[in-house]
Chain A
Amino acid sequence: MVSEEGRYRLGFDIGGTFTDLVMADEATGEIRIVKVPSTPKNPNIGALQGLKRLLAESNVKAGQLTFAIHGTTVVTNTVIEQKGAKTALITTKGFRDVLEIGRERRVTQYDIFEERLPPLVPRHLRREVDERTAFNGEILKKLNREEVEALIRELAELGVESIAVCLIHSYSNPKHEKEIEEITGKSAPNIRVSLSSAVLPAWREYERTSTTVVNAYTRPKTEKYMEELTEGLRAEGFRARLFIMTAAGGIVPVETAAQFPVRILESGPAAGTLAASFIGELVGEDNLISFDMGGTTAKVALVERGQPRITTVFEVGGYRFKKGSGYPVEVPTIDLIEIGAGGGSIAHVEMGLLKVGPESAGADPGPACYGLGGTQPTVTDADLVLGYLNPDYFIGGEMKLQKELAVKAIEDHVAKPLGLSVIEAALGIHDVVNANMARAMRAVSIERGRDPRMLTLVAFGGAGPVHANRLAEQNKIRKLVIPLAAGVATAIGMLASDVKFDFVRTYVARIEEVNLDTARSLYEEMESEAVELLKAAGVTQMELVRSVDMRYVGQAYELNVQIPGGELSAGMVKTLEDSFVNLYEKTYGFTTGDPVETVNWRLLAVGKVPRVKVKRVKEKGKAEDALKGKRKAFFAEYGEYVECDVYDRYRLLPEAFIHGPAIVEERESTVVVCPKAKATVDEYLNLVITLEEE
């Protein structure tokens, strides 16, 4: 198939171990996939090699690509490995230690050895300027330009590459921050400046400072990475626009990503959730749980009416996986729960109980059965012993798994200490990790007012399809969809995203006292900025969504309420109050009748990107034609190993029908169909599993 017209879309996701590339033919809906090892020292090398291979294999020229979307962990890794730029912080006089003091939080109840993460800017590079703005934006003390000029000169001499500016109440008046940016631009144009009023214009100085500092700290490295990537692509003949996946599940032009790296933290998990909603769209389901289980963690998210939930509470890194111990980064992020439960999660015994995770054996040494020197038993070891995994077809046979090593690890570290047989111990590991994930699933559904019985589970990631059926059972989910190429679904998700920019302004006012002119001018400002950005991104079809975070006066946590379209009016404000009260009742089960106030006024600007039309497979087939063998696998229902049919995923065609227990193998993953479950293949080659009602 040789064609010169530009009609191919590319998505590529660079993970810690593998780089996945997906290319879609916009005309036929055909999708091609390539998986290559990542090159962590310079991730672009692996990506470009993968691209060359993908283009060669599909006989497409780089010039035919119309659109490329990229997800990366470069920003997250820069923070976690503490390898960012030499960064300075400029604050209002008296506040340079906010970054280090934080909320003075302790994250454990009894651990006297608890540690706080070191500040990303050491104290001697945290500097103050004598200025002050009040909570309402009034300037109490004017910025002294000479003081700033001298400070910038000094920081330049110290070799500072990037500056974070976070002045008190700058969200209500960014004038002084902008002046500092302007002065720096004049006197030290090579230093990058990140303003808190641009990165996160919302109150709570520690969270805003932390977010701005993470941005400044990662910016030079991200910029360099983006430049090299763009150049590399251009050298290959790529001429179209490059977009980067954001944590909120949108895409932004590469220039925006380079300027606001905090926006693209966690772009991988975000893309995974988008993949789930994309697959949901194909199968006609829009209320979903997205479940992605990889080597180290499992990520669970709720998709409602086709849209993932968005939150602004997010953190990077932390102390022993404790909530609240990381660096806060409060930008819009897909609301997902990530727990330390993956194929590499280590099983151990504590107080005579079996625990799994959150520590992981990672990729090196990895699970004991990899034979790379790991001796701790992991989830993958248990899955192998239970017969779910094929030792000769792991990553399509590229890696041989050694069952005897798995047995030994489980025996030494779990079975013997607990007085269990190896099989009981393996089943225990499988059950405990499932219970941990089932709780996360429950947290994103039931605890958010959604009955899991009405939701469809979309499972992917290397280990997801192995565990998904049991998880569905435990949460009484009836329908489960496992896409083809479940191991690279994240990259597919990138092809299903729109261009998105979000904006926020804090304006605290009681609902009956909202000044409509003020609110209108906030939106005028945000909307003109948004339209400009969308145009620059080459978007023609736009959608602007307004919403406002509201709460009862006196409370600290807000709920987000969408503002109906059209001109802001007094009547509309009244509607907002009603929507808030309804949502509050739905969320917490009661209302208080107290006055309501607005806090953050938000704008989401969406530039619609037409969806790839996935090819439908017309051919039909029978399951027995895809049967590749039989294997003994253990299921608790039978209390013993039973002979199971093993199917080749690539030979399963629409209308094939499978009765559990059965196993379906593909290169990057294995699907376990439990007893009593039924699986069919749809015209997009998704495996759809239905569970019996109890």
Chain B
Amino acid sequence: MPEEFDPVRLEILWSGLLSIVEEMSITLKRTAYSELVREANDFSCALFDREGNMLAQTDWIGTPGHLGSIPKIMESVFREFPVETLKPGDAVATNDPWLGSGHLPDLVLISPIFSDGEILAFAVNIAHHSDVGGRAAGGHIADSREIFEEGIRIPLHKIYRAGEPNEDTIKMITANVREPREYLGDIKAQLSANFVGERRLKEFMKDNQIEDLMPLARAIINTTEKATREAISQVADGTYGHEHEFDGPEPGSPVKIKVSIEVKGEQMKVDFTGSSPQTASGLNCPFNYTYAYAIHAVKGSLTPTLPFNAGALKPIDVYAPEGTIINVRFPAAVGARHLLSWHVNAAMMGALAKVIPDRVLAGSGGESNMPQFSGINPRTGRFFVHVAMHSGGLGARPDRDGIHCFAFPPRAENTPAEVTETEHPLRIERLELIQDSGGAGKFRGGCGIVVDYRVLTESPCTIVNPIDWIEYGPPGILGGKPGSTSKFILNPGPGETMLGKELVRVPPGSLIRCYLPGGGGYGNPLERDPNLVLEDVVNGIVSLEKAKTEYGVVIDPETMKVNREETEKLRKSLMGSG
């Protein structure tokens, strides 16, 4: 630690930087139009030093896919825009999946912060816009074959020059997205968040008599790097591998992520060699996004409470061969790239379970059944798009159950049914936990939910859904069972149609039913405390039958009490046979 920062001053200054990014986030959330930003919190903010090292990022809000990608984005910014080409009031933006966070809806906005003609730092944020044009509204499309089908691609360029909007870009965007008013409103919101970052950083430096941010930046980064290295050094040296298989683009064509984690002293290497080749669908992701979730998994297991900045990245190398599903080549489609977030996590956890079984969790459902409705709203005569975001169950942990419907590993929130119904021609008819959906285990996976949507348009409504876990449920870990699978059904009941990843147009009045998966279980279900099984049965989370067949717990349906004797007998016989 450099001499000028004692442990007291460094703590005070560091917390000061964190509060700046927090304030940037509040501004963005409160002024955004995109439903995904204002309701679902699908955005992130960060501060970088002038050399492009991440110093501070939001914690209470934000999503790992953004926050882990931003450090890579800065490398591109420096390549395209050497510092001498940047001026005060400039803002650089792109939604290029290969430069940014992996798909077109995410627009990253980078504002250099100047003081006396010199760059001090960068304020950066990423926000998920509701629509970016393309074949279907919403941007998450699983069945395109090329990126060109998915919407407008905005190259890395100055969207603001010396404080003035780049009118050519604005016109180009206006001509190519379905709701330009929202899109442009959100750019303003992003810009104002960076303004807040700039204003606050300058005040912070003045108040604390800091002229050069770099010594502080180095102190923060070195401290974090040292702590991260210490945490890695406590993991036994060795190479730990895992293969995770999951739904491919078409039914019956599974794909896999293969990972090998090498721990050597204070260093960790994550190698995805052997993973499936890229697909001819949107089920692909650019490397930045893979990198983000590989780091997220390691950090979640080793240093969950430490702050995240450039120092946390240094001791970890991540490699994925080009042309694989997790390091896809241009111009592949990437509209379902977020599916890879939970698959990267599941693969990483499978490998880490071999060396730190007390710090991993089972597979999680994630936002894996997310229909996006679009068409004309008969109440306004205008175009509407609604991205119906819900999460499946969280995987179980070494000492506790998974949480029902919990946003992991991407972080997002649902939109209240009352907001959805007021703004869009849709009615939510059901939103309910699914019995027996959480994977059985010593600790149970969180449950998924079933959601019913009634379409109230007067003309056909377009739906795309980058659905996942139809064939494979989120995997259990260390003896736990997988969570339930997903379903996406048009007009459930006799004559129902099972839908998949393809774009569909449905008539007014249709009922759409989505089953979101449960999380995987942790450990052997026969070791679960029978009282916990009973509690789940009383609450309808687990059925009497599954209590018996999965957990070996016999409950008297009349008295609703555990029959200890029968339970012991049954468990013995199940253990013998299993």
Contacts and interface: CB of A to CB of B under 8 A. Distances in A.
B418 interface: yes
A324 interface: yes
Interface in B89-128: none
Interface in B424-468: 427-433, 449, 452
Given A122-B539, A168-B418, A109 B308 contact: yes
Interface stretch (B9-17, B151-159, B331-339): B9-17
B237 interface: no
B419 A203 contact: yes
Given A104-B413, A124-B539, A205-B418, A439 B19 contact: yes
A324 B26 CA distance: 13
Given A352-B7, A554-B181, A588 B27 contact: yes
Contacts of A638: none
B553 interface: no
Given A554-B185, A592-B185, A105 B407 contact: yes
A112 B12 contact: no
Contact of B7 (A204, A428, A436, A590): A428
B8 A432 contact: yes
A594 B33 CA distance: 11
B8 A431 contact: yes
Interface string B193-206: 00110000001000
Given A109-B59, A428-B8, A100 B15 contact: no
Interface stretch (B161-169, B294-302, B493-501): B294-302
B60 A97 contact: no
B71 to A, nearest CB: 15
A111 B391 CA distance: 17
B432 A508 contact: no
A355 interface: yes
Nearest to B181: A594
Contacts of B404: 97, 100-101
Interface string B1-34: 1000011101110111001000100010111110
Contacts of A446: 203
B304 A349 contact: no
B418 A135 contact: yes
Contacts of A393: none
A394 interface: no
A431 to B, nearest CB: 6
Interface string A118-133: 0000111000000000
B39 A556 contact: yes
A664 B406 CA distance: 52
Contacts of A113: 304, 397, 399-400
A576 to B, nearest CB: 19
A80 interface: no
Contacts of A555: 30-33, 38
B182 A116 contact: no
B223 interface: yes
Contact of B421 (A95, A109, A135, A590): A135
B452 A100 contact: no
A508 B413 contact: no
B188 interface: yes
A353 B11 contact: yes
B15 A439 contact: yes
A390 to B, nearest CB: 25
A204 to B, nearest CB: 4
Interface centre among A353, A443, A557, A592 (most CB of B within 10 A): A353
Nearest to A591: B188
A431 B9 CA distance: 9
A629 interface: no
A116 B32 CA distance: 27
B67 interface: yes
Nearest to A97: B433
B363 interface: no
A553 to B, nearest CB: 9
B413 A103 contact: yes
A141 B200 CA distance: 53
Interface in B276-311: 296, 299-301, 303-306, 308
Contacts of A516: none
Contact of B60 (A203, A324, A351): A324
B227 interface: yes
Contacts of A435: 11-12, 15-16
B422 A203 contact: yes
B454 to A, nearest CB: 10
A429 B35 CA distance: 43
A353 B14 contact: yes
Given A94-B452, A204-B419, A557-B30, A109 B62 contact: yes
A478 interface: no
Given A112-B361, A435-B12, A555-B32, A168 B413 contact: no
A404 interface: no
Contacts, number: 196
Contact of B416 (A124, A205, A592, A594): A205
B569 to A, nearest CB: 28
B31 A204 contact: no
A108 B185 contact: no
B413 A105 contact: yes
Contacts of B12: 431-432, 435
A101 B433 contact: yes
Contacts of A27: none
A639 to B, nearest CB: 14
A436 B15 contact: yes
Given A555-B38, A557-B29, A204 B62 contact: no
B299 A110 contact: yes
A106 B23 contact: no
A175 to B, nearest CB: 17
A235 interface: no
Contacts of A204: 416, 418-419
A454 interface: no
Nearest to B364: A112
Contacts of B39: 556
B405 A104 contact: yes
B212 to A, nearest CB: 21
Given A113-B400, A351-B224, A96 B418 contact: no
A123 B38 contact: no
A122 to B, nearest CB: 6
A98 to B, nearest CB: 6
Given A109-B62, A352-B1, A103 B414 contact: yes
Interface in A297-337: 322-324
Interface string B389-419: 0110000010110011111100111101111
Nearest to A428: B8
Interface centre among A108, A427, A508 (most CB of B within 10 A): A108
Given A111-B300, A555-B33, A594-B185, A354 B23 contact: no
A206 B417 CA distance: 9
Contact of B11 (A103, A110, A115, A432): A432
Contacts of B306: 351
Interface string A204-217: 11110000000000
B479 interface: no
Contacts of B203: 446
Interface string A621-642: 0000000000000000000000
A82 to B, nearest CB: 15
A180 B439 CA distance: 38
Given A122-B539, A123-B539, A447 B23 contact: yes
7 contacts: A104-B391, A107-B60, A110-B305, A112-B359, A439-B15, A443-B19, A590-B31
Interface of B: 1, 6-8, 10-12, 14-16, 19, 23, 27, 29-33, 35, 38-39, 59-60, 62, 64, 67, 181-182, 185, 188, 192, 195-196, 203, 207, 223-224, 226-227, 296, 299-301, 303-306, 308, 359-361, 390-391, 397, 399-400, 403-408, 411-414, 416-419, 421-422, 427-433, 449, 452, 538-541
* CB-based closest 6 A-B pairs: A94-B430, A556-B38, A428-B8, A123-B539, A435-B12, A103-B413
